[in-house]
Structure 1
Amino acid sequence: MSGVRPGTRHYTVVCSSCGARYEDDGLLLDCDRPHEPAFLRTDYNRTGTRTGESAGLFRHASLLPVTRTFPDVPGPVVHAAERLGRRIGLDRLWIAFNGYWPEREAYLPTCTFKDLEAYTVLGRLPAEPPVLVIPSAGNTAAAFAWAATRHQVPCLLVVPAPALERMRFPAPLDPRVRIVVLDGTATYSDAIACADLLSAFPGHHAEGGSRNVGRRDGLGTVMLAAADALGRLPETYVQAVGSGTGAIGAHEAARRLRTEGEAPPRLLMCQNAPFAPLYDAWRCTGAAPADPAPRLDRDRDRAPHFDRDREHEPLARELTNRRPPFTVRGGVRDVLTESGGDVLCTDNVAALDAMALFEEVEGIDIEPGAGVALAALAEAARAGRVRRDELVLLNITGGGRARQARDLPLIPAAPWLRVPWPGRDEGPRAVAELVARQLTGLTAVTEAAR
């Protein structure tokens, strides 16, 4: 555990709005002072990207908000992609691959960069944590389910039914890891609404999503690994986004690494039409100082990009976050503005073509979100929005799932509870009541056994 002493914290937490500083308890999500919504961020006691470990996520432990590390946790794999770059018109394209690809020594257990955030969040927790409540479209739930199983951390995961396709593991899940599946037409946004209610249960705590510094800094290790491989920061960073948490984390990591006078990498965030809330919000407001939140709230249920049916249409359903942190201080709008970035958008056909291109050229399958990012980058290069000689880092946020299924015997996850989705209006509360009855029954059984 180089660079981290168990039980100690080598960082403080700082409010992006008022600058208030906090000693972290492993669960802190928000500043308690009255002001605009604002992210907390971490302030570390040292600089540099490594701690001395030879490989893996926790080689960066000194720039992660953790009090303990876990052995044998892989990290991103960064390599030059000359052939792929030539195919899309770029001379200096680099890939940060997050997934399963044995030939590249990439072994993320659930095949996406969500593994990076899961182990960082768990490493941040206090010694006796509450039950973490986590909504997910699939990838985040898979990452937390397996990490929490390996290290016996209680979690309650809330997912729409299609998410189960991505939840296959080398062994059964720990009984303390419980999956609530919303059947029927429930979406990722519905899972988020349910999790908001479930996190208020006694002994439960919201994991926090983008508000959790562990998530953002864990995902930011993609930028740390790239800086190690490149010997510098890239000029442009490209990633598919739902909430934008990973891109924010990459920006925060770059801000810690850059030298005086060095510009941060330009962020290109990519979304999947026809459901692209961040793309639409950025196009409506750009870097203008006016807060677009009222417009987004007012139009959420009638504007085309917020149409409920359209949330089912994107190929990359992991990108369908209905409430991304756009206007939060330190959130998407701020990091786009600071980096001179932009939000791109592409469609399902282009994403499928990009997935096929990557497998043809690189020899490994990639996830739909990664296909969205590659397709949007290729379109931007053709349009001259990215220079041919630009040093570009493309985050392949997930890949190798088909290869892993061929190589390893995997077991489908068994849901703890399946709930018929009664509809958007009454759904979250009905789910919360059903889960509460199940938890009450478990408590009664446990007390009777004692």
Structure 2
Amino acid sequence: MSGVRPGTRHYTVVCSSCGARYEDDGLLLDCDRPHEPAFLRTDYNRTGTRTGESAGLFRHASLLPVTRTFPDVPGPVVHAAERLGRRIGLDRLWIAFNGYWPEREAYLPTCTFKDLEAYTVLGRLPAEPPVLVIPSAGNTAAAFAWAATRHQVPCLLVVPAPALERMRFPAPLDPRVRIVVLDGTATYSDAIACADLLSAFPGHHAEGGSRNVGRRDGLGTVMLAAADALGRLPETYVQAVGSGTGAIGAHEAARRLRTEGEAPPRLLMCQNAPFAPLYDAWRCTGAAPADPAPRLDRDRAPHFDRDREHEPLARELTNRRPPFTVRGGVRDVLTESGGDVLCTDNVAALDAMALFEEVEGIDIEPGAGVALAALAEAARAGRVRRDELVLLNITGGGRARQARDLPLIPAAPWLRVPWPGRDEGPRAVAELVARQLTGLTAAAR
């Protein structure tokens, strides 16, 4: 178990606002004291990046909020990318690759870093967990569906119809893993609204997204793996973001590792125009690092047009409700790290995807293409020094390669729901799912 004893917790949970400390039950998402919205964070009983007793994700079990680990779960693969760096004007570029790339011994089962969060969240759960309710644009749902199938954890996944393209697995899903598909014009944000209602059903519980310490710390293992490979923290960390959860997790991991006086890596979060709410909140509404109280202003944000949510190439980045002003959220970590939010378009992202495959020899996901394109533009503009030690998180890759190498089975939805529109849609979906669940309960009796 790599330094983690089953059923025991080697950490406490601390509120970022008031400092209240909690013994974790595996499901806790929020502080119960009255104050501003604030993330909980983990406080571990030991330091160090790994246990030395296992490989993959759970070699970092001492810095993960888990009471059990799972065998054979791969982790990120970090390597120097000299040729790619030269192509974009950087001398010290490193890649954290999260996906399927056999030549690099990268074997994340659903080809994105969402696998890291899924297994960590499952390892945090109590022995008899409720049904986890999880909205997704595709990658998170795929990761949780396969992890929960392998370890028999009940999940209810809510996705817009295009997400089904990502839901292909080596075997059929466990019957307790149920996928609700929103047909028609439903978006990722609509899936989030539906999941909020479904999580209130008896026996169900919101997985929590960015509020879940398991999710953030699991994604933060990218920074832990980088510190192992580099022997230090990078100067700059670059990642495409929707909610910003992965970048927050990387910042929290770096804060645990850094030595006294060492600056945390500068976070460069990247979004995909024409729908870039975090970019607008940070830059276009006066939310520069000197502004202590930026806000998400939907009326003044040119990249926040709701009707354009379908247009970005990287739909996984289209989160309408990112944790921007939450204590410990996006605004805070950008400010603490001296970071910035970058934005690029679909054409640049496609070019970057082609460049990566040409130079490195593996396909990457649209979100990773957004990050590479934004980094290249920042390097050309002099916003990243040529000699800067940069870690680029390739958040997903190798999906096309995996499809060639392995026989994969498309997932069968448990329920498909015609999307009636944003106003009445979430409640109509919740009522339909409730009827289906009631019918299953009656049949079981």
| Fold shared by both chains (TM-score > 0.5) | yes
CA distance in 1, matches of 2:355, 2:316: 21
CA positional deviation for 1:304 = 3.9
For residue 302 of structure 1, report the CA deviation from its aligned partner.
8.1
More deviation, 285-294/42-51: 285-294
CA contact (8 A) 2:285 2:301 kept: no
Instruction: Flag the 1:294–1:437 CA change in 2: closer, same or farther, 3 A.
Output: farther
CA distance in 1, matches of 2:240, 2:409: 28
Q: Could you tell me how far 1:120 is from its partner in structure 2?
A: 0.1
Aligned partners of 1:285 and 1:292 also within 8 Å = no
Contact preservation (8 Å) 1:84, 1:358: yes
Identify the residue that residue 213 of structure 1 maps to in structure 2: 213
1:225-248 superposed Cα distances (whole Å, 9 cap, x missing partner): 000000000000000000000000
Equivalents in 1 of 2:298, 2:381: separation in Å? 31
Deviation by residue 1:206-242 (Cα, 9 ceiling, x = unmatched): 0000000000000000000000000000000000000
Distance 1:386 1:276, change over 3 A: same
The SS at the match of 2:309 is helix
3-state SS of 2:262 partner: coil
Stretch deviating more after TM superposition (91-100 or 301-310): 301-310
Following TM superposition, by how much is the alpha carbon of 1:131 offset from its aligned partner in structure 2, in angstroms? Answer: 0.2
Deviation of 1:309 after TM superposition, in Å, equals: 1.9
CA distance in 2, matches of 1:29, 1:225: 26
Distance in 2, matches of 1:369 and 1:385, equals 21
Partner Cα separation in structure 1 for residue 292 and residue 54 of structure 2: 45
The CA deviation at 1:307 is: 1.9
Unaligned 5+ runs, structure 1: none
Residues 164-193 of structure 1 show CA distances to partners (whole Å, capped at 9, x for unaligned) of: 000000000000000000000000000000
Over the aligned positions, Cα root-mean-square deviation in angstroms equals 1.5
Aligned length, in residue pairs: 445
Indicate conservation of the 8 Å contact 2:91/2:386, yes or no: yes
Shift of 1:303: 4.9
Structure 1 pair 292/428, CA: closer, same or farther in 2 (3 Å)? farther
C-alpha deviations, 1:396-433, integer Å up to 9, x for none?
Answer: 00000000000000000000000000000000000000
CA distance in 2, matches of 1:268, 1:390: 13
Distance 1:365 1:240 in 2: 16
% same residue: 100
> What is the CA distance between 1:198 and its match in structure 2?
0.2
Contact 1:242 1:271 in 2 (8 A): yes
Tell me the equivalent position of 1:97. Answer: 97
Indicate how the Cα distance of structure 1 residues 124 and 387 shifts in structure 2: closer, same or farther if over 3 A, else same: same
Which secondary structure state, in structure 2, belongs to the residue aligned with residue 218 of structure 1? helix
Aligned residue in 2 for 1:413: 411
Q: Deviations over 1:287-339 (max 9, x none)?
A: 5699999963xx53785433222100000000000010000000000000000
Secondary structure of the 1:96 match is strand
In structure 2, what is the Cα distance between the partners aligned to 1:134 and 1:292? Answer: 32
- Checking the alignment, whether the CA contact within 8 Å between 1:93 and 1:391 is kept in structure 2 is yes
Secondary structure (helix, strand or coil) at the match of 1:314 reads coil
Quickly say closer, same or farther: Cα 1:45–1:87, change in 2 above 3 A: same
Q: Is contact 2:295–2:325 with CA below 8 Å preserved after alignment?
A: no
Contact 2:277–2:301 (CA under 8 A) maintained in structure 1: no
Runs of 4+ in 1 over 3 A off after TM superposition: 284-296, 299-304
Distance 2:386 2:283 in 1: 25
- Secondary structure of 2:59's counterpart equals helix
- 2:275 and 2:73 mapped to 1: Cα distance? 34
Alpha-carbon separation, structure 1, partners of 2:175 and 2:135: 18
Give 3-state SS (helix, strand or coil) of 1:293's partner.
coil
Q: Distance in 1 between matches of 2:2 and 2:148?
A: 22
Please name the residue that 2:200 is paired with: 200
